[in-house]
Amino acid sequence: MQDFLQHFINGVSLGSIYALIALGYTMVYGILQLINFAHSDVYMIGAFSAYYGAMLLGFQNRPGIAALVILLFFAMAGCALLGFTIERLAYRPLRKAPKLNILITAIGVSLLLQYSGQVIFGADPKVFPSVLQDSVITEFLGVQLKVLDVAVLLVTFVMMLALHYLIYHTKVGRAMRAVSTNMNVASMLGVNSDRIISFTFALGSALAGVGSVLVGMKYPKIEPLMGMMIGLKAFVAAVLGGIGNIPGAVLGGLLMGLSEEMVVGYLSSTYRDALAFGILILILIFRPAGLLGRGGVEKV
């Protein structure tokens, strides 16, 4: 029982990170029906922005709330700027092109970021600055609840609620929903859809930035290829929950984290990644639209 609870906490904590990154995939898909493969590398750039930002301000070794805020700021700003630029330079010129072209461009951007990262930052892993002093909050049934795990979960839920509010209770959110329903009609009704799409990219990328700081906090080793696996899994999480659906991404992320942790805990770590993609295949067979996705008719 004690083991199970510990696995559960580990899983939720890992899952909430997947969820944050999955949110970025899902938002972009919701609005453009584009799987933005570069998202996982935007996440990597977030970690490095925070790393160099902290170095610039001398925050490598001064854990505390101030460090958390500053690192989050650098990561979110770096990611938002990059997401905006990628959309502007790589995706917007292809807006009218077939969906496949833009998908392949996304893969290209992803590889460009990964390998430029190796050239610029060096392929050697860097040590992420310590953000929060970890300590035990409470102990029940022999299981420790730690500051970091709670912080990760808390940040994820705050971000999800903020996002929900933004999309359903603000003007810009309404515009986003309008563009996602039908870009042309929204444009005719006075929504500047290009600007909304840019905004969506910046926002989704900023969330990846938050994810990168949380990962850096928990696993303080960052390198230019760090986005690959976690990005793929977050993508699976987004599909699992129903791509384009915000609570779905969070549910998918948590499920992914939990099932991974349970598989390693009770079966074998060799199956860890196989499981992630096995789940994807199963979901696509039985619920093509994902757990919370709307099974709508594809518009042709």
Partner 1 sequence: MLRLLLPFIVATFALSACTKKNTNEIMIGQYGSMTGAEATFGQATDEGIRLATDEVNAAGGIKGKKIKLVTMDDQGKAEDAASVVTRLIEQEKVLAILGEVASSRSLAAAPIAQNKKIPMISPSSTNPKVTEVGDFIFRTCFIDPFQGTVMAKFAFENLKLKKIAVLRDVKSDYSVGLADFFIQKFKELGGEIVGDASYQSGDVDFKAQLTNLKGSNPEGLFIPGYYTEVGLIARQARELGLKAKLMGGDGWDSPKLSEIGGKDVDGSVFSNHYSNETKDPVAVEFINKFKAKYNKLPDGLSAAGYDAAKVLYKAMAATSDLTAQAIRDQIAKITDHAGVTGRITINEKRNATKSAVVVEVQGASNKFVTTISP
Chain contacts with partner 1 (rule: CB under 8 A): 2-3, 6-7, 10-11, 14, 118, 122-125, 127, 134, 144, 146, 215, 219-221, 223, 226, 229, 260-265, 268-270, 272-273
Query: Do 9 and 143 contact (CB within 8 A), yes or no?
Result: yes
| Largest interatomic CA distance in the chain | 61
| Partners of 136 in beta bridges | 146
> Which CB atom, from 267 or from 284, has the smaller least distance to partner 1?
267
Burial of 77 (0-12, 13-18, 19+ CB in 10 A): middle
> Which CB atom, from 63 or from 247, has the smaller least distance to partner 1?
63
Q: How far is the CB of 219 from partner 1 (least distance, A)?
A: 4
Query: Do 86 and 38 contact (CB within 8 A), yes or no?
Result: yes
> Which CB atom, from 71 or from 197, has the smaller least distance to partner 1?
71
End-to-end CA distance of the chain: 51
Q: How far is the CB of 228 from partner 1 (least distance, A)?
A: 9
Q: How far is the CB of 98 from partner 1 (least distance, A)?
A: 30
CA dihedral 170, 175, 177, 181 (to 10 degrees): 160
Q: How far is the CB of 198 from partner 1 (least distance, A)?
A: 32
> Which CB atom, from 206 or from 230, has the smaller least distance to partner 1?
230
DSSP 8-state assignment for residue 219? S
> Which CB atom, from 41 or from 87, has the smaller least distance to partner 1?
41
Q: How far is the CB of 273 from partner 1 (least distance, A)?
A: 8
Q: 144 — phi, psi (to 5°)?
A: -95, 135
